[in-house]
Structure 1
Amino acid sequence: MKLNSFDEWSPLREVVVGSAVNYTSHERELSFDLFFHDNLVRSEWYYPRLSAPSAGKSASAIKQRYVDELNEDVENIARILESLGVLVHRPMPVHPSTNEVKTLAWSASVVPALNVRDNTLIVGDEIIETPPMIRSRYFETQLLSPVFADYFRSGARWTVMPRPLMTDASFDPSYANSNAGGPIEPVQDPEKSPYDVGYEMMFDAAQCLRLGRDIVANIATANHALAVDWLERHLEGRFRIHRVYQLSDSHIDSMVLALRPGLLLVRSPEVVDYLPAALQKWDTIVPPPPESNNFPVYDDDDLILTSPYIDLNVLSVDPYTVLVNDACPELVRTLERHKFTVVPVRHRHRRLFGGGFHCFTLDTVRDGGPEDYLN
């Protein structure tokens, strides 16, 4: 089928499900800590507060049992979507020999294309590869090249946003510096590089909420603002961009998701205050806070990358059918009370790998079109 995806809820026909093959570690360095700032600074329930990493880069190994269970869960997600009649595409796995990438300015470890939502924005019939925010993910979309090439041959547009040089000076640290605490010191004296060009555009597609011909984009830094400027100019006449500010440090799909026209799933009532006026008129579902026993107990050396609200990161198969983590009964019951058919799916280690069902998937074909849902 031809690429066609304008929203988050219309009947899903084709999707990319990420891969966790050869996921071995997280590399903590400036871009990683800035990106995960909001989650790294917190110490919820029994989780340990992190100490500052050593200067430069430091690898945080992931225990093999977690990786094995993650692979089991990801493959099960793909099977369940296929059982629901959805055509599932997969990225190329990272080869074990590929453990580092290098650019003019830096080198970094490599992670597989697991959270495929993050670095690709699908707008109608166009694939837009967004400028990455974490160095280890710089070339991640290349693992999706065979999938994108097939859609291109079928008529899709395929665009790559400008790639940042990503030196230390490229990052706007103001958001992290204004939120006290956490694992990193305020960023005031970035390491000099001959390739410094000042702030550059860096922005993940998961900072966007797609609503037919409208796109809500979250901006927390100058890096985000530059990228949204680019999006506005590139999509002018086809889509309307609505800016929201500091709804989160980056991604918003564990803060707000559109389940169908007129209905939002939100983390708290306060989230609505950040949204465009037209969206504030939509009905909302606010589930109860998750319970601590919804999550595995981890060791002190395990790196926690998401808040306990990660299970709001659901995937809609159609306006009345939603994939939800089976470990989150409060959310399941809430959605069932609102007449949704809930498909419970196992996903154990979402807090270790930074994503839920919405993050792990990239919907490439849905039935919806460029409708105007805000007027």
Structure 2
Amino acid sequence: MKLNSYDEWSPLKEIIVGSAANYTSHDRELSFDLFFHDNLQSKSEWYYPRLTSASDRNREGTPRVRTTHKIKDRYLDELNEDVEGLAESLRSLGVVVHRPMELHSSTSEVTTLAWSSAVVPPLNLRDIALVVGDEVIETPPMLRSRYFETQFLKPVLQSYFDGGSRWTVMPRPLMTDRSFDPSYALSSAGGPMEPIFEAKPHLYDVGLEMMWDGAQCLRLGRDLIVNISTDNHATACDWLERHLDGRFRVHRVYKLSDSHIDSKLLALAPGRLLVRSRDVVDYLPASMKNWELIVAPDPIENNFPKYEDDDLILTSLYIDLNVLSLAPDTVVVNEACPELIRVLEARHFQVVPIRHRHRRLFGGGFHCFTLDTVRAGGPETYLD
């Protein structure tokens, strides 16, 4: 079947659900700490430059640039159970579910001209690709460990291409230290423990580059709302505007969040937004300011597993706002968030509760874990 996905809510026909196979660790380095800045700032030791002790230096006396954070096996086992449960639940609801290739245990590292990093599996698919109508666009990653992650989608994307869909790859960044714009991290509350004044030079420096995830985009038919927080995002948005010119309209919002827009709002139906707070409307285009706002309830800490001090938390307590719409009146919600379920049911949504325990450790909810490829909707115009 050909790709056909223009919005976040039309009746869902086909979807790709991510894989957590052989997820073992997080690679702490510059791109990781910049990306997860908002949720790491209370315990983050920034990679460059940083105060280092003798134990932090290698044999040559230079600071280590990577730290591997091992994830406990219990969390990984339960993550795999929940991801497979999501895929099976969607199949039981009549949705065609595709899966990426699994990360093999022998594939431990990715190496480029400028750096090397550990590899993570294709779990949060919403970040690495954007589906706009009959086209899938592979997006330039903001994390080095995800540089080749779209390769795991190759068999699925090839099948859609064979069916007549468009398949595009945005330019890949070199991702040297000087490729990153640290301005958001430097200016936001808390800031790095040690300010990044000057990035380490590299022979392949080309200046600031485009880096941008598909989850920074809210799709509303012919209109795309794109979050911009850094020059890396802005450059990628320039490319997106030129590439989609004449087919879609791109509307920029600035610093709605650090990166992903679906951590602050999701469109559940035409004219209806699920939002973290009413302040979100201040960032939106004028023609969206009269949309109905469904404000998510404040999260309750008892709804989350208790973690130990050495567990790395990657999301805020608002992660359960990251829901997946099956239709304009039907939403998949984490069963551990009964408060949100009640709010949505009071607004006449049918809620499908599904288990997802360790969403704070793996950086995503149901919207993040999936990439909807075929919906019943078309290129409608919802904004003036």
TM bucket (normalised to shorter chain) is over 0.9
Taking the aligned partners of 1:85 and 1:216, their CA distance within structure 2 comes to 29
Could you tell me which of 85, 91, 109 is aligned with 2:94? 85
Alpha-carbon contact 1:209-1:216 (below 8 Å) kept: yes
What residue number does 2:234 align with? 225
The alpha carbon displacement at 1:39 in A equals 1.3
Could you tell me which of 210, 227, 242 is aligned with 1:201? 210
Alignment of 1:271-290 (within 5 A): 271-290=280-299
Letter in structure 2 aligned against 1:36: F
1:173 has 2:197 as partner? no
| 1:278 counterpart SS class | helix
Could you tell me which of 359, 366, 370 is aligned with 2:379? 370
Alignment of 1:1-375 (within 5 A): 1-42=1-42, 49-52=43-46, 55-181=64-190, 184-375=193-384
Q: Which runs of 5+ in 1 are unaligned?
A: 43-48
What residue number does 1:45 align with? none
The alpha carbon displacement at 1:335 in A equals 0.2
Taking the aligned partners of 2:297 and 2:233, their CA distance within structure 1 comes to 31
Letter in structure 2 aligned against 1:298: Y
| 2:361 counterpart SS class | helix
Taking the aligned partners of 2:28 and 2:286, their CA distance within structure 1 comes to 38
Letter in structure 1 aligned against 2:344: L
Alpha-carbon contact 2:9-2:328 (below 8 Å) kept: yes
The alpha carbon displacement at 1:359 in A equals 0.1
Q: Deviations over 1:49-95 (max 9, x none)?
A: 34456541101110000000000000000011001100000000011
Alpha-carbon contact 1:24-1:61 (below 8 Å) kept: yes
The alpha carbon displacement at 1:181 in A equals 2.7
Alpha-carbon contact 1:27-1:109 (below 8 Å) kept: yes
| 1:281 counterpart SS class | coil
TM-score normalized by the length of structure 1: 0.97
Letter in structure 2 aligned against 1:157: R
What residue number does 2:51 align with? none
Alpha-carbon contact 1:202-1:223 (below 8 Å) kept: yes
Q: Which runs of 5+ in 2 are unaligned?
A: 48-55, 57-63
The alpha carbon displacement at 1:287 in A equals 2.1
Letter in structure 2 aligned against 1:147: V
Taking the aligned partners of 1:22 and 1:182, their CA distance within structure 2 comes to 32
| 1:15 counterpart SS class | strand
| 1:114 counterpart SS class | coil
Taking the aligned partners of 2:71 and 2:193, their CA distance within structure 1 comes to 21
Taking the aligned partners of 1:373 and 1:165, their CA distance within structure 2 comes to 37
| 1:175 counterpart SS class | helix
Letter in structure 2 aligned against 1:75: E
Taking the aligned partners of 1:18 and 1:63, their CA distance within structure 2 comes to 20
Taking the aligned partners of 1:52 and 1:61, their CA distance within structure 2 comes to 18
Alpha-carbon contact 1:176-1:186 (below 8 Å) kept: no
Alpha-carbon contact 1:33-1:184 (below 8 Å) kept: no
Q: Deviations over 1:90-147 (max 9, x none)?
A: 0000111100010000000000000001010000000100100000000000000000
Alpha-carbon contact 2:114-2:176 (below 8 Å) kept: yes
Alpha-carbon contact 1:27-1:57 (below 8 Å) kept: yes
Taking the aligned partners of 1:200 and 1:259, their CA distance within structure 2 comes to 33
CA RMSD of aligned residues (A): 1.0
> Between the two proteins, what is the percent identity of the paired residues?
70
The alpha carbon displacement at 1:31 in A equals 0.3
| 1:250 counterpart SS class | coil
The alpha carbon displacement at 1:180 in A equals 4.5
Q: Deviations over 1:33-56 (max 9, x none)?
A: 0001111125xxxxxx34456541
The alpha carbon displacement at 1:183 in A equals 5.2
Q: Deviations over 1:244-285 (max 9, x none)?
A: 000011001020100000100000000111011111110110
The alpha carbon displacement at 1:182 in A equals 5.0
Alpha-carbon contact 1:50-1:182 (below 8 Å) kept: no
TM-score normalized by the length of structure 2: 0.95
Task: From the superposition, tell whether residues 233 and 264 of structure 1 become closer, same or farther in structure 2 (CA, over 3 Å).
Answer: same
The alpha carbon displacement at 1:226 in A equals 0.2
Count matched residues.
Answer: 369
Taking the aligned partners of 1:112 and 1:261, their CA distance within structure 2 comes to 33
The alpha carbon displacement at 1:288 in A equals 1.6
What residue number does 1:46 align with? none
Taking the aligned partners of 1:170 and 1:132, their CA distance within structure 2 comes to 12
Letter in structure 2 aligned against 1:269: R
Letter in structure 1 aligned against 2:134: D
